[in-house]
Structure 1
Amino acid sequence: MLAIVVTPGSPGGERLGRVEEPERAGDQLLVRTLALGVCGTDREILDGRYGWAPPGRDWLVLGHESVGRVTEAPSGSGFAPGDLVVGVVRRPDPEPCMCCMQGDFDMCRNGGYRERGIKELDGYGAQLVPLEPEFAVKVDPALGLLGVLTEPTSVVAKAWEQIDRIRYQGCRPAATALITGAGPIGLLAALLGAQRGLDVHVVDRMREGTRPELARMLGASYHSGPIADVCRSAEPDVVLECTGRPEVVVEALRCLAPAAVACLLGISPRGRALNVDVGALNNELVLENHVVFGSVNGNHRHFAAAADALAAADPLCLGRMITRSVPLVDWTQALERRDTDIKTVIEFADEAQELRNREM
């Protein structure tokens, strides 16, 4: 079968190659991949800056944002052939920490976790994939290929879960949310904020085009000016920083309402210095009782919440988030960065094209 194969740590070794078809263990599902999303983590692996091959070899099957259809399922698994599913990315440490033991393996404390398509486990970028039922999540059949958005949505579902927990212990509910960045994570964060009934504001550099239109379709106000200007008219109780740009991170933390919560979701480039008055920023965070935390990855609970959020969303709006689809044979084109891109998807099968035609 065909698979997207990379050599972690060695840029330029990626290829679309033939690998042996998987042998499904008796308790596993066998899933035919329909589509694979591409994100910055995949590009870092291809650049040789990230990623680990499975023990005993130097190559890794890429891909962690997936949607596929079950072709084989064991009796009593809760799944059946024909089900549309996505695979959870992270797996608990074989010698689990306390978080891993209680199912919160996204919070693994000892670093021995593994991740499909990233760390020591082959990913979902193959025509056929074995998948343990406990790490599979059904998605609404009506979503079709849009189910490929489940993994990035799980990231923001986890962030909102953490925010909800913190705000629940506070003295007042959140009313206003600020999202920095209108990429896939930012737009999906806005979607979940709007579904919570918040007054959502999205800030991005693009002044026109698909991103402003999508933000408004999702129920958010869109802004392309300075963050400080937005915060003067709408002091945010909640901030989700989705760009990773250091200057944006600092600016966002400076405009919080009293006793606000800020979640950092973006990964920042290293080696870039800013002239920041850390003392003044620290004093503001302390004296205003702010909570600032980082979040990454998700567990089964967050994938299930993501699937529910997508099922409740406007499919036309979700469809516009996928701005480019390429066939498997041209998969490297999905790695190109274009100004108009939001989410780029690699289609694996003829059925994927049929589903996409049905959505249109």
Structure 2
Amino acid sequence: MRAVTVRPSAGKSLEVCEVPDPVPGPGELLVDGLGVGVCGTDKEIAAGDYGRAPGGEDRLIIGHESLGRVRQAPPASGFGAGDLVVGVVRRPDPEPCGACVRGEFDMCRNGRYTERGIKERHGYASQSWTVESDYAVRLDPSLERVGVLLEPTTVVAKAWEQVERIGARSWFAPERVLVTGAGPIGLLAALLGHQRGLDVHVLDRVPSGPKPALVAGLGATYHSGPVDEVASALRPDVVIEATGVGDVVLGAMRGTASYGIVCLIGVSPGARRLPVEAGTLNNALVRGNVAVVGSVNANLRHYRAGADALRRADPDWLERMITRRVPLRNAAEAFTAREDDIKVVIDLDG
């Protein structure tokens, strides 16, 4: 079969090549790959900045935003041939920490987890793959065209869970959310805010194109002005920060309402230094009872929450998020950004 592979830590090594067909082990599903999403992490791996192949191998099959159809399932697994499924990304290490042993492997304390398509496990960017039935999530059949969006949806499902758990420290009745960044993560965060009945605002730097249209499609409000001005005017109860851009992060933290919650899910690209009035920021956070929390990855609970959120979403809106589909034979094209890209998907049967 064919798969998208790289030689980790070696730039310009991405290649669609022949690899052995997978053989399911006990308790594993055999899945025909339908599609795989490409995100910033995949591009970093392809550039040689990150990634680790399985032990004893020099190439890694990439891809962690999966979608496939079950070809073969073991008896009593709860799955059957034809089921639409997504594979979970992370696995706890062989000697799991306290969080991992309780199924909270997204909160791993020792860092020895593995991840499909990223760290020490082959990913899902192949024409077929296997996955343990305990780490597979069934999707509604209506999501065949857009189910590849589940993995990024799990990231924001966890973020919203973190916000709501922190809010529960006291009376919490949020009305307005500001999402910074209108890439796939930001748009999906806005979707989940919309599903919660909140007044949703999305900030991004581009003034036109598919992003404002998608935000409008949620009945939300789009902004492209400076973050300090937008946040100060809105005074949001919740901020979901999905850019990782330093001055946007700081502006979001300064602009929340009293008792606000800022959830940081964007990874910063570099070590750029920014001048910060630490005392002023500290006073704003302390006197306003503002909470700031970082959130990354997801566990099985978040996959199920994400699958439910996608099932309840407008499928046409979700499909408009996928702005480009690339056949497997031309997979390298998915790693070169185009002006109006939001989510790029590699079709694994092409």
Q: TM tier, shorter chain?
A: over 0.9
CA drift of 1:277 comes to 1.2
- Are the aligned partners of 1:179 and 1:201 in contact in 2 as well (CA < 8 Å)? yes
Instruction: Give the secondary structure class of the aligned counterpart of 1:103.
Output: coil
Shift of 1:174: 1.2
Distance 1:327 1:315 in 2: 22
Residue 117 of structure 1 aligns with an amino acid whose one-letter code is G
Q: After superposition, give the CA deviation of every residue in 1:35-68 in whole Å (9 maximum; x if it has no partner).
A: 0100000011111111111111221110000100
Residue 30 of structure 1 aligns to which amino acid in structure 2? Answer: L
Does the alignment pair 1:115 with 2:104?
Answer: no
Determine the structure 1 residue equivalent to 2:158: 158
Equivalent residue, structure 2, for 1:311 = 311
Compare 207-216 and 219-228 and name the one that shifted more.
219-228
**1:123 deviation in Å?**
0.2
CA distance in 2, matches of 1:52, 1:243: 25
Q: Which residue identity does 2:36 align to in structure 1?
A: L
| Alignment partner, residue 355 of structure 1 | none
**Structure 2 match to 1:225:** 225
State the one-letter code of the partner of 2:8.
P
Structure 1 position 285, deviation (Å): 1.2
The more displaced of 269-278 and 46-55 is 269-278
2:238 aligns to what?
Answer: 238
Structure 1 counterpart of 2:335, one-letter code: L
Deviation at 1:145, TM superposition (A): 2.3
Q: Distance in 1 between matches of 2:227 and 2:23?
A: 52
TM-score, reference length from structure 2? 0.98
Contact between 1:184 and 1:343, CA under 8 Å: does it hold in 2? Answer: yes
- For residues 331 and 234 of structure 1, what CA distance do their matches in structure 2 show? 41
Listed as ranges, the matches of 1:1-360 within 5 Å are 1-349=1-349
Cα deviation for residue 221 of structure 1 reads 1.1
- CA separation in 1, counterparts of 2:79 and 2:35? 20
Distance 1:99 1:268 in 2: 25
- TM-score, normalising length from structure 1? 0.95
Taking the aligned partners of 1:347 and 1:86, their CA distance within structure 2 comes to 15
User: SS at the partner of 1:145?
Assistant: coil
Q: How many residues align?
A: 350
Residue 151 of structure 1 aligns to a residue whose secondary structure is helix
Once the two structures are TM-superposed, the CA of residue 228 in structure 1 deviates from its matched residue by 3.0
Q: Is the 8 A contact 1:253 1:262 kept in 2?
A: yes
Contact kept in structure 1, 2:8 and 2:46, CA below 8 Å: yes
Q: CA deviation at 1:233?
A: 3.8
Q: Distance in 1 between matches of 2:132 and 2:172?
A: 41
Measure how far apart 1:26 and its partner are. Answer: 2.6
- Decide whether the 8 Å contact of 1:71 with 1:81 is kept in 2: yes
- Residue 356 of structure 1 is matched in structure 2 by none
Secondary structure of the residue aligned to 2:4 is strand
Q: Distance in 2 between matches of 1:231 and 1:56?
A: 50
How far the C-alpha of 1:172 sits from its partner, in A, is 2.8
TM-aligned CA deviation for residue 227 of structure 1: 2.4
1:297 is displaced (CA, Å) by 0.6
* Cα distance in 2 for residues equivalent to 1:93 and 1:283: 40
Q: What amino acid maps onto 2:56 in structure 1?
A: G
In structure 1, C-alpha distance between the alignment counterparts of 2:231 and 2:37, rounded to whole Å: 33
Given that 2:11 and 2:47 are in contact with CA atoms closer than 8 Å, whether structure 1 keeps it comes out as yes
Question: Aligned-pair distance for 1:338?
Answer: 1.4
Alignment root-mean-square deviation, CA:
1.0
Q: What is the alpha-carbon distance in structure 2 between the residues aligned to residue 324 and residue 170 of structure 1? A: 44
Shift of 1:149: 0.2
Deviations 1:144-185 (A, max 9, x none): 120000000000000001111111222231111000011100
Q: Tell me if structure 1 keeps the 8 A contact 2:36–2:67.
A: yes
The gaps in structure 1 that reach 5 residues or longer are 351-360
Tell me if the contact between 2:232 and 2:256 (Cα under 8 Å) persists in the aligned partners: no
Percent identical across equivalent pairs?
55
- In structure 2, distance between residues paired with 1:43 and 1:232: 34
Structure 2: gaps (5+ residues): none
| Partners of 2:136 and 2:299 in 1: CA distance | 11
SS in 2 for 1:318: helix
Is the CA contact (8 Å cut-off) linking 1:325 and 1:344 kept in structure 2?
Answer: yes
